[in-house]
Structure formats: C-alpha cells, structure tokens
Chain A
Amino acid sequence: MANGNGTRITLEQRRAKARAEELANKQAKDLAANNYTFLDMEAEKSNLQDIEDYFWNVGKNSSNLNFPDNSLTKSINQTVEENKLKQADLEARLAAYQNPSYDRLAQLRGRGMSLGDAKSYLSAEQAAQAAGARRQTSATAPVPSTQIQPSNQKALDDAATYAAYLAAQKAAGPPTSQRTPPTNTRALGGSGRLNTQQQAGQTAESAKATSATAQQAIADAYAAMDAAKTGNTAANYIANMSADDQMRMILAQDEYAQAAAASEAQRLANEEARLGQGNVDEALLAVLAGNYGTTPESAATTVAGDTAGIADAAQAEAAAAVADPAASAVSPPDNAFLSMLAGLESDDARAQYGFDKGIINADVLAALRAQEAAGGTMNINLGATDVDVEGVSAGQKAIFKWTEPDETGKRTIVMLSDDGKKKKDDPPLGVTGIIDESEDEETILADDDPEINYLNDQTDIITEAYNDRIDAIEAAVEDGRIDINLAQGVFNAAKDKLFDDMAELSKITYDEVNETFSFNTEQRATDVQSMLDLLAGQGVEQNLIQDVIGGDIGMNLAGYGEETDAMRDFSEMLNIIGQQGRGEAGMLGNYMFDSYRQDLETTGRNMELQAAMQQLAEQQAAAEQNLQSSILGPYFGLDPQTMMAGMGAGVDVAGVSENRAVREQAAEDAMAMLLAQQQFATGEREAGQTFQTGERTGAETFAGGQNYQNNVWDYLTDQTMNPYQSGMLGVAQQGQQMDTMSTLMDLMNPQPTAAETTAANAQAQMTALDSALAKMRAGDTPAQAPSPANNWMGSPAVAAQDIYTGEEIMAMQGAGMDVGQMMLNQNTAQAEMQNMGSFAQAMDIPLETLMGAQSLGVLDDLVEDFQFYRMGEGLGALPTDSLVPFQYPPSPENPAGTTTMLKLSEWMDQYQLYYPDADNKDFQLGEGGPWLKGEMDPAEWFELGTLMDLDAESMQDFLRSVYYPSLGG
C-alpha cells in the first residue's frame, strides 16, 4: 500500500505476540493439567529470571550475551521443570516431617495400647533400632513373645487396607484426587505422600511405570503382613510393620513419586512438542468446529493393555459409554486442554478464549459471533452466509484460514474476504483518511487528481513520521527492558549466591547437630548395654531385667530416641524452609522488576497513544485542508493543490495572490494616472503653447513678449508631474516593494495564522482563568495571615493583587467576571468570617453551627439560648454547672433517641462520645443536609420546625441534626 498503512506490526501487536508465545506453552500445560498453582505462577513469571540464571550460571564466561536461539527455550523449560521438581521434593519432605512415619509411640497410643506398657516401648525401640529406623544405634535383640494382641490385629488390618489402597490407586492411575483414601492412612504416614502422587502424569508411560510399582507395593505389603503373622508377636509386628513393611511402603512411595515425576516430565515434554507443532491450535480449531472426536489422546488407550484391573476399568468405561451414548457423544476426550475448553460455559467463551490466546483474530471472533447471532452454532469451518455464484447457491463457503507461521512459528486463524482472498489487516491505530480496502493496490480515487495526490503525499509523510516515532518509542522501551532484565539478572545472581552460601552454612550446622546426636545415640546404646552387662554380671537374670525394669530402660531409650529424632528432623526442616526462601525471594524480584517493566511499557504505550493522536490530528488537518482548498481554490482562481500546500506550509496563498493582483492593479492605476497626467500636461502644454503663442504674439504685438528662458521653464514644468502626482507614484512603488518584501518574508518565515494566535491567546487566558478559579476554590486565602491592614482597611484591589496574578485578573475580566466586586465581596466575607469565628469562640460553639444559624435566620434565637444557658441570670455570672439539654442519638438500644438535661461539665464529654465525628467534619455550606437529597430546602426545614413549635433547645438540636445528618437525631 502506498502509504504503508496496514503493513506495520505495532508495538502492541508485537508485545501481544511475544506474550502469547511466552504464556501459551506454560499456561496451556498448566491449565490443561488443571494444576495451575502458586508454583506455576512463579515458574511462569520467572522465565526471564531463568534466562538470567542460565546466563549467570552457564554463560558467565562468555563475552557474548546472546543465547543460541534454539537452546534458549529448551534451557528455560529445563530450568523450570527442575525447579518444580526440586520444590516438589522439598514440599514432600516437609509433608513427611509433619506426618512422621516413625512416631511409633503415638501409633501405639493410637492403637489403644496402654501407656504403662513400657515393655512394649523397649521392644519397639529395640526393634526399630534393629531395623535401622533409629539412625546409627545399636540395640539389644527383640524379645520373642507368643501372642498377638487384638489391638495389634487391628493395626495389621489397617496395614493391609492401606497396601490394598496403594495398589488399587497405582493400578488405576491418576487422578488420585478423585479417590477417597482409607481413613487410617494418616496414622500410617501415607497422606503426606499422596500430595506428591497427585501430580502424577496422565500418559500411558506413566500408567505402565506406576503399574509395575503398584505390583511391587502389593507384593511388599503382603510380604510384610506375612512376616508379621509369622512372628506373631507385638514386638515382631512393630518391627516388621513399622520398620520393615512401612519403610518398604515408604520406599515404594518414593519410587512411585520418582516415576510419577519422570512421567510428568515426559508428559510435559510431549505436551511441549505438541504445542510447538501447533496441535493445540488444531485442537482448538476442532473444538470450535464442534468436533471433539479428532483429538490425539483417548482415555481408554492410555491405560489399555496393562493389567487385568486396568483393562476391566477400561471395559467398564466403555460399557458406560455404550450405556449412555449421548453423554459419550458430547463429552470431550480426556485431553485436559480440550476438557478445559469444553468446560467453558459457552461457545462464545471458547471463542473469546481463542481470541485471548491469539489463535483467532478480531474478525474471526466477530464472524463466529455473527454465526451464533444468526441462530446457528459457531462453526469455524463454515461461512456466515450462503454464497450465491451466478444465481446458483454455492453453500456456505469457508471464511477462515490459517496463516503461515510467523517468525515465532505461531499460526493464527484469520478471516478470508468474500472473494476468498485474505482480508487486509486493519490499519494501525490512528491511521484514517483514505483506506485502501482492495487487494491489488487499487485506490478508490482517481490517480490523476493532483489534489488527492497531494493529500496522499501528505498522508504518507504523516504515516512515515508516525512510524518513525513508534520505532523510536519501541527502541527506548526495548532498551529499557534490557536494562531491567540485566538488573534483575544481577539481583538473581546475588540472591542465588546468598542462598547457596546460606545452604552451605545451614548444612554445616545441621551436620554438626546430626553428628553430635549420632554420637550421643551410640553412647546411649553403649551405656545401656554396659549397664545390662553389669546387671548380668551381678547375677540379675535376663527375664528380670526385661520384665521388671525393662520398662524403665525402654522408656529411657524410647524417650531419648524420640526427642532426638524430633530435634534432628526439626533442624533439617528449618534448613528446608530456609531454602524455600530462595523461591520467595525470586518471586519478590519478579514482582519488583515486573513492576518496572510494566511502568516502562505503560510509558511506551502512552507515548504511542500520543503519537497516534498526533497523527490523527495531522491527518484530520490535511483532510480538512484538502476539503477547504478544493472549495476555496476555484473562488480565488487558484490551483487547489497550491492552495492546500499553502495551508500546510502556513502561507496565505489566497492572500498573497490577492495582494499581487492588488499590486498589479495599483501599478496599472499609477501608470494610467501618469499617462493621464502626461496627456493632460500635453494638452495643457499644447493649449499653453497655443495660448502662449497667441499671448506671445499678442505680447509681441502688445508688450514685446517673454524671453526664451521663461519659455523653456514653462515647457519643462508642463512636461512633468506636479508634486502630488509624483508622491502618489512613489507611494505606489514603495508599497509594491514592501508587499514583495513582506511576501518573501512570509515565504521564508511562516508566521502563525491569526486563528492560531487567537487560539494560543485563548489557551493562555484559559490557563490563567483556571489558576484563578483554583485559588477561589482553595478558599481565596492570601499567603500572608489576614490582618486589618490588608483585608479590612486595605482596598480590594490591593488584596486582589495579593491573591491573583495580573494575568489571572485579566483572564477573569475577559471572562466577564466583575473582579472588583468579587474582591469586595471576598473581603467582606473574610471580615465577617473572622468576626463570626471570634464570636463562635466566645460562645464556645462550633463556627459552622453559628454560620448555619445565620444562614437560617435563627442567629438571634441562638444567641438568646447562649445567653440563657451560658450566662445564667446575669451577664457574666457564669454558673459552674448549669443544665444543658442533650439529645442522645438513636441507637439499637434506644431507637427513638432521647433528650435529657445534662450538667454543662458533662455535656461536652457526652457530645464527644455520642457525636465523635462532629468536630472533625469539614464544614461545607449545603453539604450533607437533608435538602441535598431533594426533599426539602433549608427554608422549608425551618418552616417545618416553626410549625412543629420547636422550642429553642430543640432548635439547637435541630440545627445539629441538619449539619450532622449522618449522626441521626
């Protein structure tokens, strides 16, 4: 297009594209997994941060700051996934800590075993140590017993139930959140791990991997149960269940979690690969077309062919589908992205989502909505209307198509024009005037119209200038973004270094604690053993030790072990929590630097808007000039193009042209006058000559005649102009010269037109007027304190000069204000206000109350009341505690409100208590009162008060209620 309209990608579009590219992968994945969490938000926001991390950690030795394009996205996603797994690991460890698996004391208690059964403690502790649950602790051998307690049988059942639950859960695959775990899993330490399991993947690989794990878990659980039954003792049960079976279960869980994490990573990679190929777009296209069946994944195939149970589940699912074909037909497959789309409330919402994601453009969105508005359903494969080709219906033609991938590899759906061609893009913001809607550069205006050509040229210049401005703005914004990114990189590098150091220090601390604890634990075991040896050496039998005092030793050992483990784990958890601060600090950095980016982009957007508005104004001016010149040109007999050029350049072509005509006419007139004078002179001279000849002849005849010189002088005199004629000619010549000079000056140095000067003056006057009005609104208070010298006694003009500048006074006068009268009124009002303020102070009542009384015409009554209440019987005889009426405002306890007499000393306290905001309220005359609601005006209120025969006391309350309407009463 000649003027470049429509071919440019604006910053807004570029930014939207970049955003879409950045967010599409991430959000689609997380939204699809229905798993958009706080962590994801961090990961999403930290993409730039991760770039910096990558740079600082990997590329810091490189002098080139640029990344290889193909490795950037990969490294970012890798870092994000690693962070997620790391974070998930930390959370799992915290959850395990909060739901410990080794707290056998509590477990025994929970199973109804007596606290006094200390022997069990000893056995449990010894068994735990033997099984390695207690770290680095030697132990005595477990003592066999011959019975299994009923309460322990319950624990065995719990273990079996939990193992079966685990197996079923893993066999069926995710989502695990939809299954209800057995209620006893928490006691067995399972629920903390389940959160990790909930992040399990959804692919067939995941199901296969977890299936193997599940089989192993089942086998482990049954092996543990068999071992427990074989041992058939409480001690063996605890040993096997707590230390062996449960550890195995935990290991199985760990294995499962790792498999799930791996499959999740694989799933994300697959998802990413599909996103890269635009399959989500295809899928969206399919959904928009109302076709849910062409999606790549199927729920049944993800688990098929794995185990019998899974196959059964698939069959059951298939049977359900057959039983309810309608549901099967409309339900989207188990693709989370499509599920999300299908879960939106309407086609309109889906189309809006596609538009928000940048998959369809505004035209397509509008066309889809038009389809729905026409009574149909949104179908992206069909046109909105039937196409009639030479009288034959061609059916609904496709009106949408996919674009070729842009530089980012992203494809979008755009609209086709009616003839099947791609519709031209919308012009950028602010580009108006002649918009070429045709495909092949055809303009709707004649090419040979010089006026229009000039307008096109003008529009080109304006558009070019606009584009240049946008380029500059974009460059500034981009540079600013780079700077901010670098600053964030520095911040993140410092943050990571600090947290690395902190982690190292914390590890040293933790290791030291752990070493000390381990040493003490070994020492404890050695002490116990040596003590038992001592007892044995003293002839104390083993069964006595176990039966009588074993409980004490067991309690000592168990207590020490539990407490030590608790302390050790607590310190480790603190270490973990401290390291989680790394992510928090990173998020803070993101918030901080994103705010800078947002500020920068907002500034850029505002500048773009200004540029667009400027372009709009310029184009409007050009179009108006075009219109005016096309009308005025013929009137002045000028070429409209020339005239328009003059308008654009600020040259008054018409005026210049008119002046030139005037000058030519003046020259012609002067010449005509000169010629006439010459003609006249010639005639006169000839007449004179005739006369002179006659005279001379006569003189010669009569007096002897004039001499020759006189005759020559007369001749010369007659041949020239008189002084007036000569002067007029000179003026005309000078005027012509001056006009020429003026025209040249105008051409060289265009002056503002009269209209522009007038507008500038009006603007200046308006600014001054605004300033003056602002001062009025501010309360027309002069800078210095009011004093009689410059307010009461001084002239209003002096006071006005104190307040307003000369420009402001002139502006106010120009606007028709009577500044003198206004100043006078203002001074009077100030003086009255001061007087009233002093009066109010003397009466000890709020100034606004006094002013309100004056405006209502009840000032006299108020003063009388004042004298009655405050002065007592005689002027100046102030009673210490006279009774004053006080109205309690309505309250829930006292809906009607009451009026009582209070002592003056108590009145103010009650007033401040029940009307807490009264003294703080800024008084504005007319503010708040009931009349503002349009119900009654102040005069009507007063009339009403008179009709109600209000007494003076009530009038005071009435006034208060008027001025503090929010307080009721």
Chain B
Amino acid sequence: MAYNPLSSGFNVQDPYGISPSQRLKTALNKTTMDRRNVGTGYDRQRYDIGQAQKAAVPQIGERFISRGIYDSGLRKKALAQQLAAFDRARSEAATAQNRAILDLALQDLAAQGQFTGERLQRATDASSVRAAKAAEIREAMS
C-alpha cells in the first residue's frame, strides 16, 4: 500500500490548517493573544481596585470625622476590614488571572500533544509499512 499522508492528519480543505504544524502554530498564536488580553485585563482590574482603595481610605476617615469618632478603634477596624476586602478582591483577581493563564497553558499542551500525536501516527504508519514491505521484498528476492 502506498503511503497516504491524507490519512495522517493533513487536511487540504483548510488552507490555514493543512498540516499539523500549521494547526499547532495557529493554536499557539491564539493562546498568546488570549494571554496578552488576560494580562491587560488583570492590570486594568488591579489598577481599578487600587484607585478604589485610594478613594476609600479618606472616605472612611471622612465618615468617622463627621461622627466625631475618628480617633476610635472603630475607624481602625473599619479601615482594616475595608482594606481586607480590597485585598480579597485583589487576591481573587490574581487567582482568576492565574487560572486563565493555566487554562491557556492547558490549551497549549493539548495542541502540542495533538501535534505530536499526529506526527507520531505518521511515523508509525510509514515505519510499519516499511517494515511490512521490506520483509515481503526480502522474501520475494530470496
């Protein structure tokens, strides 16, 4: 049997993905773009939280000043709790970004694995055909 590359992961109907390596590059470029967008989004989110925190600290002070209890443990506690809430938001945002990064990495790994698998399939087919043919030819010649 002749070697047929079309049975091993090639697709002539997709000019952007005829070969496994094309598909791998496409997938990696896509995740690279997504990764940059995730980073941009996270930076923006972190900036917003920082701005809100900056605004919140004097506002808390103003509210306690207006009540005449600025120098009280309550203001400190409220301040600390407020900042802890901002910290929670930052933590969740960072975790979310990490999770998105991981998801993209998993996509990369999957694309790499698929590429390797398709190429391995081709190597297997070609080698097994070669082994079978070689034995037959030898047998016929001897």
* A479 and B94 within 8 A (CB): no
Smallest Cβ distance from A519 to chain B, in angstroms? 10
Smallest Cβ distance from B103 to chain A, in angstroms? 9
Task: Label chain B's interface by main secondary structure.
Answer: helix
Asked if A490 lies at the interface with its beta carbon under 8 angstroms from chain B, I say yes
Asked if A318 lies at the interface with its beta carbon under 8 angstroms from chain B, I say no
A771 to B12, CA, bound (A): 50
* A544 and B127 within 8 A (CB): no
> Of B61, B95, B131, which contacts A484 at CB under 8 A?
B131
A524 to B91, CA, bound (A): 7
> Of A484, A498, A524, A596, which contacts B90 at CB under 8 A?
A524
* B80 and A571 within 8 A (CB): no
Interface string of A295-330 (1 = CB under 8 A from B): 000000000000000000000000000000000000
Asked if B18 lies at the interface with its beta carbon under 8 angstroms from chain A, I say no
Asked if A427 lies at the interface with its beta carbon under 8 angstroms from chain B, I say no
From 489 to 540 in chain A, residues with beta carbon under 8 angstroms from any chain B beta carbon are 490-491, 494-495, 498-499, 501-502, 505-506, 509-510, 512-513, 516-517, 520, 523-524, 527-528, 531, 534-535, 538-540
> Of B79, B101, B102, B132, which contacts A570 at CB under 8 A?
B102
User: How many inter-chain contacts with C-beta < 8 Å in the A-B complex?
Assistant: 167
* A487 and B134 within 8 A (CB): yes
A854 to B115, CA, bound (A): 68
Q: A490-B130, A531-B86, A544-B80 are in contact. Are A564 and B112 (CB under 8 A)?
A: no
From 81 to 102 in chain B, residues with beta carbon under 8 angstroms from any chain A beta carbon are 81, 83-88, 90-91, 94-95, 97-99, 101-102
Smallest Cβ distance from A118 to chain B, in angstroms? 11
Q: A538-B79, A585-B120 are in contact. Are A564 and B98 (CB under 8 A)?
A: yes
* A552 and B138 within 8 A (CB): no
Asked if B116 lies at the interface with its beta carbon under 8 angstroms from chain A, I say yes
| Number of interface residues, chain A, beta carbon within 8 A | 66
Asked if A738 lies at the interface with its beta carbon under 8 angstroms from chain B, I say no
Q: A495-B123, A513-B105, A549-B80 are in contact. Are A557 and B135 (CB under 8 A)?
A: no
* A498 and B123 within 8 A (CB): yes
Interface string of B104-116 (1 = CB under 8 A from A): 0110110011011
* B116 and A502 within 8 A (CB): yes
> Of A484, A491, A538, A560, which contacts B76 at CB under 8 A?
A538
> Of B85, B120, B138, which contacts A476 at CB under 8 A?
B138
Interface string of A886-921 (1 = CB under 8 A from B): 000000000000000000000000000000000000
Asked if B23 lies at the interface with its beta carbon under 8 angstroms from chain A, I say no
Task: Label chain A's interface by main secondary structure.
Answer: helix
- Which chain B residues lie closer than 8 Å to A475 at the CB level? 142
Which B-chain residue is minimally distant from A532 (CB atoms)? Answer: B83
A540 to B101, CA, bound (A): 36
Q: A520-B94, A534-B83, A559-B95 are in contact. Are A480 and B76 (CB under 8 A)?
A: no
Asked if A600 lies at the interface with its beta carbon under 8 angstroms from chain B, I say yes
- Which chain A residues lie closer than 8 Å to B84 at the CB level? 549, 552-553, 556
Asked if A675 lies at the interface with its beta carbon under 8 angstroms from chain B, I say no
Q: A491-B127, A552-B84 are in contact. Are A484 and B135 (CB under 8 A)?
A: yes
From 443 to 491 in chain A, residues with beta carbon under 8 angstroms from any chain B beta carbon are 472, 475-476, 479-480, 483-484, 486-488, 490-491
A517 to B95, CA, bound (A): 9
> Of A524, A538, A564, which contacts B57 at CB under 8 A?
A538
A476 to B88, CA, bound (A): 75
Which B-chain residue is minimally distant from A567 (CB atoms)? Answer: B102
From 119 to 136 in chain B, residues with beta carbon under 8 angstroms from any chain A beta carbon are 119-120, 123-124, 126-128, 130-132, 134-135
A686 to B55, CA, bound (A): 172
* A544 and B73 within 8 A (CB): yes
* B95 and A592 within 8 A (CB): no
> Of A476, A501, A513, A581, which contacts B102 at CB under 8 A?
A513
A548 to B75, CA, bound (A): 13
Asked if B67 lies at the interface with its beta carbon under 8 angstroms from chain A, I say no
A539 to B119, CA, bound (A): 64
A559 to B92, CA, bound (A): 9
Asked if A968 lies at the interface with its beta carbon under 8 angstroms from chain B, I say no
Can you name 16 extra interface pairs (CB under 8 A) apart from A476-B139, A490-B130, A539-B76?
A: A483-B137, A494-B120, A498-B116, A505-B108, A517-B98, A520-B97, A535-B79, A538-B79, A544-B80, A552-B85, A559-B95, A563-B95, A589-B124, A592-B124, A596-B132, A600-B135
